[in-house]
Structure 1
Amino acid sequence: MNSRRRFLIAAVVVVISGVMSVLAAPELPARMATHWNAAGQPDGTMSKPVALALFPVLSAVLLVVFAAIPRIDPLRENIASFRPVYDWFVVVFTVFMTVIHGGVIAFNLGYEFDFTLLVLTAVAGLFYYVGVLLTHAERNWFIGIRTPWTLSSNEVWDRTHRLGGRLFKLTAIISLVGLFFGDYAVYFLIVPALLTAGVTVVYSYYLYEQIEHGTGSDSVKLP
């Protein structure tokens, strides 16, 4: 399967999101619940037209951006080396957006479920695939853990992304465990995610300093 077909799958998912809006519109209230607190209770609303258009339009715009990135990145040849994994990330992302959109519609149609748990489950799946993407990503300007130190060294990039990939997968697993802890479930996502972000930034700086002081391999710097 080539890249064009994978993006076609993503486009079909976005279209499905829009069709869901059109089909559900007549049965939905004028104002729809669109925000929930950690306890799963709705605490924010939007007008129906805005709520129904938000996810499909945002997904379509982001799909165009995702399609452009491999063409405009100065290091596009590096993206080509992991293009299938990148393309499937785009598919996974559009599915994620559609699942959340479907959840919003279902809730406003009167179906009873914990919306926060739906979001946490969907985010866990997305985070796990982000971990897969990071372990394959080569140095580029748009995709991955882009710190001054990863962008300045191939070795720092590779080692930081290997660690980041494992941490994102671990965050996904911890998030799923958190589903059994009720109102505290959201913290099983937020805390590991923040720690992952902090650890990878600090680790990339540490590696770069080690290499610059001659205790690691030679760095390969951007022009």
Structure 2
Amino acid sequence: MKKYIFSAGLIVLTVLTWAFTYSSLPDNLAIHWGLNGSANDYQAKANAMMMLIGIMIIIYILMVIIPKIDPKNNYKTFIGPYMAIFNTMFAVMFVINLMIILTGLGYDLPISYLGSFIVGVIFMVFGNFIQIVKPNFFLGIRTPWTLSSEKVWKDTHRVSSKLFVLAGIIMMLSAFFPPVYRISAIFIAAIGCIIFSVLSSYIVYQRQLNK
């Protein structure tokens, strides 16, 4: 269970942060912001706290049980990348909690820039580690072609790794784009790397058939 200490610790730290600041927070908290960084959705602070902590707990439960229920049962061979990807998700969730709490306390954060960086980091971390992940039914580019052949899986994820890192870089750079172009850059980068990853799995599969 030592491998779960970091993520469990972030959940505890998130709970403590909410507990120490809860009485100082306004009754309603901003939980979503527009392209210009202005808040456009609010929730009661109790609901916001329970929702955000609840999401972290659900992710934690999934992280623990997925290796136990996957039929391929080979997570020991890539537990490092598996934990790195999930720990990044917990770190991002912790940062999101901090952003909501700090804005509630009156701090003026550069939300429009932070959002692009956060999404970019997720894609870059995923891209850096996904090429080491072995075939499984929950994590990675799971298409009929990658799941049919370990070689197709490996070759596809080698390509996808570069695509996701590139998409992450574009997303981070989009923080400096005008707001009207920022969401388009993030959307195109995200959808583009996913589509090309799926296409690459089919192309690699066809090449293997024709050998």
Same-fold call, TM cutoff 0.5:
yes
> 1:66: which partner in 2?
63
Determine if contact 1:7/1:90 at 8 Å carries over to the other structure. Answer: no
Q: Distance in 1 between matches of 2:15 and 2:111?
A: 20
Matched residue of 2:134: which SS? coil
Residue 166 (1) aligns with residue 162 (2) = yes
Match of 2:32 among 30, 35, 41: 35
> 2:193: which partner in 1?
196
Match of 2:135 among 130, 136, 139: 139
1:72 is displaced (CA, Å) by 1.2
Q: Deviations over 1:175-207 (max 9, x none)?
A: 121121131333332211110011011111122
> 1:19: which partner in 2?
16
TM-score, normalised relative to structure 1: 0.89
Correspondence list, 1:1-223, <5 A: 4-77=1-74, 79-183=75-179, 184-212=181-209, 214-215=210-211
Structure 2, gaps ≥5 residues long: none
Q: Deviations over 1:96-117 (max 9, x none)?
A: 1000111011111111122132
TM-score, normalised relative to structure 2: 0.94
Q: Distance in 1 between matches of 2:89 and 2:78?
A: 17
Q: Deviations over 1:9-36 (max 9, x none)?
A: 1100111111111112111111111111
Matched residue of 2:141: which SS? coil
Matched residue of 1:165: which SS? helix
Determine if contact 1:178/1:188 at 8 Å carries over to the other structure. Answer: yes
2:7 aligned partner, one-letter code: A
Q: Distance in 1 between matches of 2:71 and 2:104?
A: 45
Cα root mean square deviation, aligned: 1.3
Determine if contact 2:81/2:130 at 8 Å carries over to the other structure. Answer: no
Identity of aligned residues (%): 28
Moved more, 9-18 or 172-181: 172-181
Q: Deviations over 1:140-189 (max 9, x none)?
A: 11110101111111111111111111111111111121121131333332
Matched residue of 1:46: which SS? strand
Q: Distance in 1 between matches of 2:165 and 2:24?
A: 39
Determine if contact 2:124/2:164 at 8 Å carries over to the other structure. Answer: yes
Matched residue of 1:76: which SS? coil
Matched residue of 1:143: which SS? coil
Determine if contact 1:179/1:185 at 8 Å carries over to the other structure. Answer: yes
